[in-house]
Structure 1
């Protein structure tokens, strides 16, 4: 389980770096700061899954959750969302080192 969490964290970190690189290239080209919102990035990659997730959240969870939390999340920069996701996944999959050290019996 920890392996999958850490692997997911690595994938989220790679996506965050790619999204940040794309935003920085667009910022240099436009001579202004460009940060792609998560909703726009998801719409570009897979619009069908975005619509399916929106409708399922509004139907199964609660419509207010969709209007407040999900729409707020979709307005945040994509690289920031994936950085936070990578950090959370890494924290959940982190294994504490033993207190006594590695050479104890």
Structure 2
């Protein structure tokens, strides 16, 4: 189980690094800082799943959860979200101290 957590963590960190490089290239090309939000990437990748997730959040969680918790995460740059989740998974999967 620890191996799987570390494996997924490394892949998410790598994905975050790729997203950072892509945003860096776009920033250099446009001469201004560009950071692609998670929501934009999700919307471009699979629009139906984002709509289904929004319906699920509004149906199962208390009112206002979308606006207070989910919307700010969707506005966070993709590389930050992937890096944080990757680091958490790697910390959860680290070997026990001897």
Identify whether the pair has TM-score above 0.5, normalized to the shorter chain. yes
Q: Deviations over 1:77-99 (max 9, x none)?
A: 1100111111111111111230x
Moved segments of 4+, more than 3 Å? none
Instruction: Measure the CA separation in 2 of the matches of 1:73 and 1:55.
Output: 16
Instruction: Measure the CA separation in 1 of the matches of 2:52 and 2:77.
Output: 21
Partner of 1:48: 48
> Runs of 5+ in structure 1 lacking a partner?
99-105
- Aligned Cα root-mean-square deviation (Å): 1.1
> Runs of 5+ in structure 2 lacking a partner?
none
Q: Which has the higher contact order (CA 8 A, sep 6+)?
A: 2
Equivalent pairs, count: 98
| TM-score, normalization by structure 1 | 0.86
Question: If you compute each CA radius of gyration, which structure gives the higher value, 1 or 2?
Answer: 1
| TM-score, normalization by structure 2 | 0.92
Q: Which stretch has the larger CA shift, 56-65 or 22-31?
A: 56-65
Instruction: Measure the CA separation in 1 of the matches of 2:2 and 2:35.
Output: 32
